[in-house]
């Protein structure tokens, strides 16, 4: 008796499958290599949607700002005896540099200065195009491009910081000990900057708290993140009102 060929084996398996399908049409042969079908999403009630919106809104309006405020307060406590810096009122060369903030700091600024940010939106949108995306590996190149653009911080008014009470961490820890005139250069190699002891550790702690609060740490250009947080809050509020109105009309 001859051995069955691979082709005969394949035809035999096919016939067996057809017969099985005829006997049990609701139990089709399944390929074990195929993943199981994804479960169908459960319908979400209007109340649950509104609850999710509230959680996201709370993240931007309360949890993230608290992280930034706590870190800034710890830093101010560190500087009860500030170094002898040469920076003075009207010296604003550092306000013409690219500023990197975390999502917590951007949320804190949006909460503290909504009207100021709304008024500065045209400037922020123009500046956001200079740095559409931010990567820490390209920080130096981004800073040089920003300096060459000639842009000034959108919140510098009459050579004074209009958000000084809630200024970002990178602004807080910038203490110049040399002649301020040296700062007005793209390559300020002669500028001497004092970094208070513990400053970087406090900034790392802020990022760690932000990680625990939102499961991520987002760093970006100040104009870009301010716009993103503002737009996210506007969209969340629009969704909340939409769901409330839908419920009222039913």
Q: What is the pLDDT of residues 85-104, one digit of tens each?
A: 777 777 888 888 899 999 99
User: What tens digit of pLDDT does each residue of 46-81 get?
Assistant: 778 778 888 888 888 888 999 999 988 988 887 765
| pTM of the predicted structure, to 2 decimals | 0.75
Determine how many CB atoms are found less than 10 A away from the CB of residue 27. 9
Residues 103, 229: contact at Cβ < 8 Å? yes
Nearest CA-CA partner of 225 in 139, 97, 99: 99
Residue 175 β-bridge partners: 194
Rounded to the nearest 5°, which phi and psi values hold at 186? -65, -40
CA dist 47 and 45 (Å) reads 5
Contacts with 216 (C-beta within 8 Å, 6 or more apart), sequence order: 103, 210
User: What tens digit of pLDDT does each residue of 189-246 get?
Assistant: 667 776 777 888 888 889 888 888 888 888 999 999 999 999 999 999 888 888 787 7
pLDDT at 16 over 70: no
CA dist 50 and 241 (Å) reads 9
Structure tokens at 164: 């000084």
Structure tokens at 214: 């939102």
Contacts with 190 (C-beta within 8 Å, 6 or more apart), sequence order: 178, 182
Q: How far apart are the first and last CA of the chain?
A: 77
- DSSP-derived pairing of the beta strands 193-194 and 100-102: unpaired
CA dist 240 and 247 (Å) reads 11
The mean per-residue pLDDT over the stretch 165-183 comes to 83
pLDDT at 30 over 60: no
């Amino acid at each position: 008796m001859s051995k069955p060929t691979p082709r005969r084996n394949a035809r035999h398996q096919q016939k067996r499958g057809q017969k099985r399908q005829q006997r049990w049409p609701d139990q089709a042969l399944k390929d074990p290599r195929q993943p199981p079908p994804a479960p169908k999403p459960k319908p979400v009630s209007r109340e649950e949607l509104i609850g999710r919106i509230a959680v996201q809104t709370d993240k931007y309006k309360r949890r993230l700002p608290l992280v930034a405020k706590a870190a800034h307060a710890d830093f101010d406590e560190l500087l009860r005896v500030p170094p002898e810096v040469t920076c003075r009122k009207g010296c604003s060369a550092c306000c013409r540099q690219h500023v990197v903030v975390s999502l917590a700091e951007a949320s804190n600024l949006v909460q503290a200065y909504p009207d100021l940010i709304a008024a500065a939106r045209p400037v922020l949108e123009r500046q956001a195009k200079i740095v559409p995306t931010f990567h820490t590996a390209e920080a130096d190149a981004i800073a040089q491009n920003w300096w060459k653009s000639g842009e000034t911080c959108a919140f510098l008014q009459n050579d004074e910081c209009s958000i000084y009470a809630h200024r970002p961490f990178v602004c807080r820890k910038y203490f110049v000990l040399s002649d301020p005139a040296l700062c007005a250069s793209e390559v300020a190699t002669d500028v001497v900057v004092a970094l208070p002891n513990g400053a970087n550790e406090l900034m790392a702690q802020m990022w760690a708290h932000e990680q625990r609060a939102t499961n991520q740490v987002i760093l970006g250009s100040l104009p870009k993140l301010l716009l993103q947080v503002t737009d996210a809050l506007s969209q969340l509020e629009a969704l909340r009102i939409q769901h409330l109105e839908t419920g009222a009309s039913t």
